[in-house]
Structure 1
Amino acid sequence: MRPLAPGVHQLLGRPPHMVNAYLVEDVLVDAGTPSARKRITRQLDGRAIAAHVVTHAHPDHFGSSHAVCERYDVPLWAGAKDVEAITTATPVPSPGLAGSLLSRMKMPSPHPVARGLGEGDEVAGFTVLDVPGHSPGHIALWRDHDGVLICGDVFFNVLRPSAPPKILTFDDERNRASMRRLAELRPKLVLFGHGRPLRDPDRLLRLVG
């Protein structure tokens, strides 16, 4: 694992930074694709894990959630409006042909969500922010005292900071509003679902205009 801030580690991926998961104190945030199961558990074995949080109900973020929760006997938490999608392994499709095609793909194993998270809830010293758009119940995690933000897929940082692809986004207009909200926090460290960490808050501000 790669330490990024006090109590915050990034799990090593293959290829690096393509699909990210983080360990925040004793809480795993996101769990990659179903094929990431062995890589994730290899890094978590021997550590105390108390819970698992999913930022949003897309199969590259809850792909190994069932395996992780079963292995470590921990509860799964997610944004309240994404609970059904994870519990039934049926993500809400984005508009258009791409979303329809993706909805027909083989999905990860479903897993019951023990807690639906909402604005202002606390997770391992972070505050939950409701930031819908990429999915109906997308959440971010914000630690105010040192400016650490785990933004899920509200932003991508593959090559450069950007919005997530429209074809994979449930409501692009709402996601744009979520982007502005997070950028205006001026985070000192931004951790993405896809891409390298970012320590330049002005880049997000420039992106949202």
Structure 2
Amino acid sequence: MHALWLQDRQLRLRADVPVPEPAAGEALVRVLCAGICSTDLELVRGYYPYCGVLGHEFVGIVESGPAQLCGRRVVGEINASCGTCDQCTRGQPTHCLQRTVLGIVQRDGCFAQYLTLPAANLHVVPDEVSTTAATFTEPLAAALEIEAQVPLQLRQRVLVVGAGRLGHLIAQTLAITGCDLWVGGRAPAQLAWLAARGLQVCVAA
């Protein structure tokens, strides 16, 4: 299959990457659309010694796996945990020391024609959600994780530092909580986009 391969901080398009074989409990997914994350760019710059297919934000169609998923459009949770270690049994699978991470740690990613993930990691995309919009599921989930970790009170003052792509998603998810939200950043155009949507912004010195 064709895939975008990272090795020694060099990216190249390969046409000879084998289609991955799903392990027990996994599904084979044909990739329809993939998003580029800052993590992908940092991997290219060498912040972590990854070798393989990049990418972890995707929408695809299940080609093989559980019958209820085959032929369905899906998105996926990127951490594939062991399910048996102390972290997993305590309900913290994203801290599993044995986990693989799609396109980041020991698992080829979605900048390819096909990928594999545990079937339990896959979520069906509703028909009314476009493939393009669904590609934002993974970064949106990361933004929503903040609310899960830090419960907010109505009108509690909150400052989001940074108005980049993830900052935008975080700000928009926090805005619906009713907190007193401010977004600080250095790029006037990014702040103007948020201000036009009713968010309070300030320019970082």
Q: TM-score, normalised by structure 2?
A: 0.28
> Which structure is higher in strand share?
2
Q: TM-score, normalised by structure 1?
A: 0.27
